[in-house]
Structure formats: structure tokens, C-alpha cells
């Protein structure tokens, strides 16, 4: 469909919780396709959530399969409507970045393994277990649906936030 413009922090729409999707219909599928196109179009992204393109709905996509960190442990393209994390275990800290916060990265502690339930783009209920980098990416995108950014999870802005190097 279309590569959409990404909202940048401090846009207030990034800090608002999203609405539950009532029906996985054609409009929802078009939104998912825009998210997929936007994620792949960025060339470096492993996920994007609807509020990042200005749509306040609980929809996100994740695909870590082309990433060095995720290529050996992934479920391929995940298209998630109304996702909920049912279980979390372990803890790991990784350096995260975000298309909505392009100038910074930060060390964020997240669950090492999660069980996430969602509707796929065909409206079927799914529950999958994600580990490692894929689990981190899913948690990052689900935070967007609750109006949170990775910046909100950094324990010390002084020691855990880093300016990206310019090419």
C-alpha cells in the first residue's frame, strides 16, 4: 500500500494509549500493509506500531528475520492485532533504537522470553513464545500501543542513553 511518515518524539500522539481494534476488516488489513511497507521501506527497522504513523489502534508488526541478532530465532513476519503479553520470564538488557527517536539509542532491560497472544491479519487468534531479540522487539512495539517509548524504560538517562553516530 504505502510507506507512511513516522511520527517523531516529542509528538504527543506517541504518548497516548491506543484503542482496541473491534474488527479485523479490510481497513485493518490496509493499516497492517502500510505498517509492513513502512517497516521494510526503512531498510533497518524490525518493527513498527500503528501510533508511530499516527493511527491510535492496537496494531503492530515485527520481523527480525533479516537482523543479525534475530535471524536464527524468529517467527518471520508477525502481524499483531490487539496483542497482549500473557507471560514473561528472564531478564536481558539490550541497546534499543526507535524510528520515532532517531537520534538516540539506549540500554533497556526487558523480559528474555514472552508468551504473546494476538489476532493475525486474517483475524485468527494466535499465541506464540518469543525469545531473545524477537521478544525484545515485540515488547518494544507493544510499549508503543500503551503510549510508552524506550526512553521511558531507561533507568539512567546519564549512563544508558547514547547519541547515534552520524554517517
Q: Catalytic annotation on 141?
A: yes
Catalytic residue among 5, 22, 113, 141: 141
Contact 114, 143 (CB under 8 A): no
Rounded Cα gap, residues 12 and 37, in angstroms? 24
Cα–Cα nearest to 152, from 165, 139, 164, 163:
139
Contact 143, 83 (CB under 8 A): no
With cell 502481524, the residue in question is 79
Helix (H, G, I), strand (E, B) or coil at 67: coil
Give, for 138, the enclosing helix (H) or strand (E). Answer: helix 132-145
* Residues forming the active site: 141
Amino acid at each position: 500500500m504505502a510507506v507512511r511518515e513516522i511520527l517523531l518524539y516529542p509528538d504527543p500522539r506517541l504518548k497516548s494509549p491506543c484503542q482496541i481494534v473491534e474488527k479485523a476488516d479490510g481497513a485493518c488489513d490496509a493499516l497492517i500493509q502500510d505498517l509492513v511497507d513502512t517497516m521494510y521501506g526503512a531498510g533497518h527497522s524490525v518493527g513498527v506500531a500503528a501510533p508511530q504513523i499516527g493511527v491510535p489502534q492496537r496494531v503492530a508488526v515485527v520481523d527480525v528475520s533479516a537482523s543479525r541478532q534475530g535471524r536464527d530465532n524468529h517467527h518471520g513476519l508477525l502481524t499483531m492485532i490487539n496483542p497482549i503479553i500473557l507471560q514473561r520470564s528472564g531478564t536481558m538488557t539490550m541497546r534499543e533504537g526507535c524510528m520515532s527517536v532517531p537520534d538516540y539509542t539506549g540500554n533497556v532491560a526487558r523480559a528474555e522470553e514472552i508468551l504473546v497472544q494476538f489476532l493475525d491479519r486474517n483475524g485468527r487468534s494466535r499465541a506464540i513464545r518469543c525469545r531473545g531479540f524477537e521478544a525484545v522487539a515485540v515488547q518494544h512495539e507493544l510499549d508503543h500501543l500503551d503510549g510508552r517509548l524506550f526512553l521511558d524504560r531507561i533507568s539512567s538517562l546519564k549512563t544508558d542513553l547514547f547519541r547515534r553516530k552520524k554517517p
